Structure 1
Amino acid sequence: MCGRYVTVSKVKAVEKRFNAEVATPDLWRVNANVGPGSKAPVIADESPNSIQHFQFGFTPQWAKKPMYVFNARSEGDHNKENDPSYTGAKGILQKPMFRKSIRDRRCLVLADAFIEGPEKEKLSKPYVVYLRERRPFAFAGVWDEWVNTDTGEILRSFAILTTVANPLMQKIGHHRSPVILEPDQESDWISNDLPIQDVTAMLEPYDAKRMNAYPIDPAIKNPRAQGVELLKPTGERVFKEYDYEIYEELRLEGMGETRARQRGRDEKGRQQSLF
């Protein structure tokens, strides 16, 4: 299940990428360990030009108390064996928890990477999973609005859709994949005019050939742990790559720097050391 993910991109880069404006810039922060209970950026169907911060961990409007459900299974109660070749019905349409939101309360969950581990060891053996060709990207999400009847507080929360494991997730040893949308699917996902059969057609695993992963320290398991250093590789990537240093990119973004700026700083330091 996708219970931890990474958001390190700058506000301006995210606004440009998704053609939307961050509603509350003061809430924007680097987060190498987004987990249930965190406020995280989403673009919801009811405000497609606004990047809002909802709580990660879904609570349906009819709940008596907050529930923090962070994943929504595309298959619902079907495919209990998590067979990666499953192509049957999308049972989420019948699940009381999500059957309303999947129809008219969908959102884009913005991320730069996510954290996953084997089914048994879980985050005791974590990996950073990323897309080779782009970031930030969007998970398919659903959201709802819950009202605390005691205080009147309004809670907007979301869950990430999951589907069967693609070959990369299988290689890691995990039994599920988060649903990652293609850029040309994003506006459709948050359109309430889209027929429900077209919605469920998107609930497929992302192409594993366009992804990769590498192991990191289990310190990420602590939900309070923070810092881009958590994303430092502790071993080789699952699929060999020779032309892309994903950790360095994530680290620089998280520190508010770019490669060009770092080169300038390094060059300045070298010049100073000569005298």
Structure 2
Amino acid sequence: MCGRYVTVSKVKAVEKRFNAEVLAPEKWTFNTNVGPGSNAPVITNHNPESVQRFQFGFTPHWSKKPMYVFNARSEGDFNSDNNPNYRGAKGIIHKPMFQNSIRDKRCLVLADAFVEGPEVEKLNKPYLVYLRERRPFAFAGVWDEWVNTETGEILRSFAILTTVANSLMQKIGHHRSPVILEPDAELDWLSRDLPLSEVTSLLEPYDAALMNAYPINKAIKNPRSQGLELLKPVGQRVFTEYDYEIYDELKLEGMGETRARQRKRQQEDPPSGQQSLF
């Protein structure tokens, strides 16, 4: 399940990419270990022109207490064995937890990469997963608004939708994939007029040929851990690449370092051994 991900893009990059204004940009921070309970950037179908910060970990409006459900299965109760070839009904539309939100409260969950591990070892053997040529990107999400009846506090929270594992997730040994939207499907996902059949048609695994992953240190499993070192590769990429160093790009974003400054630093301190991959 997708329970950890990365957000390090700068405000201007996010605003340009999604054509939306970041609210309270002075509070914008990068996060190398977004997990349940974290506040993270989303764009909702109720306010598609703004980037807001909601809690990762979904609580339906009817709940008596916060629930922190971070993933929503597209198949609902179907495909219990997580068959990667499943192409049947999207049972999420019948799940009490999500049946209202999938119809009327959808959101884009903004990310630069995500963390996944094998089904057995989980985050004891984590991989950083990224898109080869697109960053930031958007997961398909659902959200809701819950009111604490004792305090009147309003909690806006979200979950990431998951679907069957693509070939990259299968190579990692994981049984699910988060739903990653193509850029031309993002506005559809946010449309409040999109027929439900077209909404569910978007809940498909992303093309593995456009993705890659590499192993990182298991320190990422600690939800309080932060820092760019968490994203440093400790092994080779799943699919061989020769011309893309994604770790260095994320490091630039997180440190606010210009490319000119990076070149100067590299000249003063030339790299040795294994190259950075992300």
TM-score interval (norm. to shorter):
over 0.9
1:5 maps onto 2:9 in alignment: no
Amino acid at match of 1:256: G
1:204 maps onto 2:204 in alignment: yes
Q: Counterpart of 2:157 in 1: which secondary structure?
A: strand
> In structure 1, what is the Cα distance between the partners aligned to 2:143 and 2:260?
38
User: What is the alpha-carbon root mean square deviation over aligned residues?
Assistant: 1.2
> In structure 2, what is the Cα distance between the partners aligned to 1:188 and 1:228?
34
> In structure 1, what is the Cα distance between the partners aligned to 2:5 and 2:57?
13
In structure 2, the residue matched to 1:135 is: 135
In structure 2, the residue matched to 1:239 is: 239
In structure 2, the residue matched to 1:80 is: 80
> In structure 1, what is the Cα distance between the partners aligned to 2:252 and 2:17?
18
Amino acid at match of 1:245: E
> In structure 2, what is the Cα distance between the partners aligned to 1:245 and 1:149?
49
> In structure 1, what is the Cα distance between the partners aligned to 2:84 and 2:102?
22
> In structure 2, what is the Cα distance between the partners aligned to 1:79 and 1:88?
8
Q: Counterpart of 1:180 in 2: which secondary structure?
A: coil
5+ unaligned residues in a row in structure 1: which ranges? Answer: 271-275
> In structure 2, what is the Cα distance between the partners aligned to 1:255 and 1:204?
34
1:59 maps onto 2:59 in alignment: yes
In structure 2, the residue matched to 1:100 is: 100
Q: Counterpart of 2:225 in 1: which secondary structure?
A: coil
TM-score scaled by structure 1? 0.96
Amino acid at match of 1:250: L
> In structure 2, what is the Cα distance between the partners aligned to 1:258 and 1:42?
26
In structure 1, the residue matched to 2:218 is: 218
Amino acid at match of 2:206: Y
The total of aligned residue pairs comes to: 270
* Identity percentage of aligned residues: 78
Amino acid at match of 1:136: P
> In structure 2, what is the Cα distance between the partners aligned to 1:66 and 1:26?
28
5+ unaligned residues in a row in structure 2: which ranges? Answer: 271-278
| Distance apart, 1:2 and its partner CA | 0.1
> In structure 2, what is the Cα distance between the partners aligned to 1:27 and 1:45?
23
Amino acid at match of 1:241: E
> In structure 2, what is the Cα distance between the partners aligned to 1:266 and 1:176?
39
Alpha-carbon contact 1:27-1:53 (below 8 Å) kept: no
In structure 2, the residue matched to 1:227 is: 227
Distance 1:269 1:122, change over 3 A: closer
Amino acid at match of 1:22: V
